[in-house]
């Protein structure tokens, strides 16, 4: 009898599989399948680079399908019958090790599941700077009533509809970001690996990565929502930061290594950028000596933009159960990872 192993008991309460969701998975299990829900704790951060539990190592040996937050390499190597692995995370970089690539195991991810909360996180962070909440908050903490910074012709306060937004990455997250900014009147362009595939909803147009340099001087808000690949690593270089329009806002919800962080800190310190909204960093936790901790025009969060405890499980379960039905019927799977592209 084919077997599904579900390994989602995260130590983080926001991503911990609850008994109700587990019961829904068990109830949806076909009569000719068996399912084992791992009770041991696991980590939901990242995309699988963690030590597996003894229970998951034991249960994976005869599993045909695995559902987890990525898949640690030792766990994959212990899976003798695995044919399909679905990650409850969006990133897959640590999963593309040689043994996985050579195995023929199908790999799907949860791109799109995190899109709505991350898009709202980006919008909130950008509005924080557009409306000058950083300046107002500093005055409040000093006990000062100071409307002066908001009352000049050169004020930094702007409406979303004035902004030209460039989103690097037009997948599930980037598309949700584009839809929200477009709904508020902004003009949104996207950067995608293959522009010939068309213009996703929410974007006015799309362009290739090699066309980004010409776009940056016209960009008021730059959002990085791309996966980390050889093509996107350090895509926001010091040179490209310098090309951005004065007063631009940068938001990164992709991966920290998409950005030259020292160059970003310098552009912020020099006043070239209005601000930065950062949820991801090259090294996490952010190093205690990083200047990004103390710059007043940085709003950063500890890699939590995807948190949505009430909606996450509904979206994840809908995606997985649909894919499970497709798998059993021999139909194409949604969110199938392109190993060559890296996502």
Phi and psi at residue 252, to the nearest 5°? -125, 115
Give me the residue label for tokens 């001087």. 217
Question: Do 241 and 169 share a domain, yes or no?
Answer: yes
179: left (phi over 0), alpha (psi -120 to 50) or beta: alpha
Quote the pLDDT of residue 342. 86
Please, which residues bridge with residue 279 across strands? none
Question: Do 23 and 152 share a domain, yes or no?
Answer: no
Question: Do 101 and 129 share a domain, yes or no?
Answer: no
Task: List alpha helices for the chain, DSSP H.
Answer: 19-27, 54-60, 73-78, 98-103, 115-130, 133-142, 172-183, 212-215, 238-243, 261-269, 312-329
Structural domain includes residue 85: yes
* DSSP H or E run through 201: none
Quote the pLDDT of residue 47. 78
- Residue 317's domain is classified under what CATH number? 3.40.50.720
Residues 66-71, mean pLDDT to the nearest whole number: 96
Measured N-to-C along each axis, helices 133-142 and 115-130 cross at an angle, to the nearest 10 degrees, of 60
pLDDT at 206 over 90: yes
Structural domain includes residue 20: yes
Question: Do 101 and 142 share a domain, yes or no?
Answer: no
Task: Report percent pLDDT > 90 for the chain.
Answer: 93
Question: Do 94 and 164 share a domain, yes or no?
Answer: no
Question: Do 97 and 128 share a domain, yes or no?
Answer: no
Model pLDDT for residues 316-336, shown as the tens digit of each residue: 999 999 999 999 999 999 999
Question: Do 271 and 181 share a domain, yes or no?
Answer: yes
pLDDT band at 49 (very low <50, low <70, confident <90, very high): confident
Please, which residues bridge with residue 260 across strands? none
Averaged pLDDT of the chain: 96
Structural domain includes residue 343: no
pLDDT at 236 over 80: yes
Question: Do 20 and 36 share a domain, yes or no?
Answer: yes
Structural domain includes residue 334: no
Question: Do 232 and 144 share a domain, yes or no?
Answer: yes
Question: Do 222 and 313 share a domain, yes or no?
Answer: no
Question: Do 287 and 322 share a domain, yes or no?
Answer: no
Q: Which residues are catalytic?
A: 255, 284, 303
Question: Do 84 and 153 share a domain, yes or no?
Answer: no
Structural domain includes residue 335: no
Quote the pLDDT of residue 341. 85
Structural domain includes residue 182: yes
Q: How many domains does the chain have?
A: 2
Quote the pLDDT of residue 125. 98
Quote the pLDDT of residue 50. 85
Quote the pLDDT of residue 71. 95
Q: Contact, 53 vs 82, CB < 8 A? A: no
Q: Which of 6, 84, 96, 14 is nearest to 47 (CA)?
A: 96
Model pLDDT for residues 302-318, shown as the tens digit of each residue: 999 999 998 999 999 99
Q: Which domain holds residue 274?
A: 115-300
Structural domain includes residue 320: yes
pLDDT at 48 over 90: no
∠ CA(134), CA(139), CA(144), 5° rounding?
A: 165
Q: Contact, 63 vs 82, CB < 8 A? A: yes
Structural domain includes residue 337: no
């Amino acid at each position: 009898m084919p077997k599904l192993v579900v390994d989602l008991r995260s130590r983080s309460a926001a991503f911990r599989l609850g008994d109700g969701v587990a019961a829904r998975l068990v109830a949806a299990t076909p009569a000719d399948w068996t399912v084992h829900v791992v009770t041991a704790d696991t980590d939901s951060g990242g995309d699988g680079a963690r030590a597996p539990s003894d229970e998951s190592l034991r249960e994976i040996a005869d599993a045909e399908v695995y559902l987890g937050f990525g898949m640690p390499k030792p766990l994959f190597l212990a899976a003798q019958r695995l044919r399909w692995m679905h990650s409850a995370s969006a990133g897959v970089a640590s999963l593309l090790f040689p043994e996985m690539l050579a195995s023929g195991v199908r790999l799907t991810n949860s791109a799109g599941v995190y899109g709505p909360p991350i898009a709202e996180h980006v919008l909130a962070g950008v509005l924080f700077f557009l409306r000058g909440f950083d300046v107002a908050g500093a005055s409040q903490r000093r006990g000062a009533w100071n409307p002066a910074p908001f009352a000049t012709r050169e004020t930094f306060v702007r409406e979303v509809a004035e902004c030209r937004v460039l989103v690097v990455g037009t997948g599930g997250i980037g598309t949700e970001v584009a839809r929200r900014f477009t709904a508020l009147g902004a003009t949104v362009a996207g950067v995608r690996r293959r522009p010939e595939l068309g213009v996703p909803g929410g974007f006015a147009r799309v362009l290739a990565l090699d066309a980004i340099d010409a776009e940056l001087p016209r960009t008021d808000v730059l959002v990085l929502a791309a996966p980390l690949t050889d093509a996107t690593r350090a895509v926001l270089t010091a040179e490209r930061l310098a090309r951005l329009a004065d007063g631009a806002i940068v938001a990164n919800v992709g991966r920290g290594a998409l950005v030259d962080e020292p160059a970003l800190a310098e552009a912020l310190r020099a006043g070239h950028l209005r601000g930065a909204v950062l949820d991801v960093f090259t090294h996490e936790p952010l190093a205690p000596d990083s200047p990004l901790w103390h710059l007043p025009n940085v709003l950063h969060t500890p890699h939590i933009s995807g948190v949505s405890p009430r909606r996450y499980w509904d979206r994840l379960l809908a995606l997985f159960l649909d894919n499970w039905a497709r798998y059993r019927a021999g139909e194409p799977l949604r969110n199938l990872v392109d190993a060559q592209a890296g996502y």
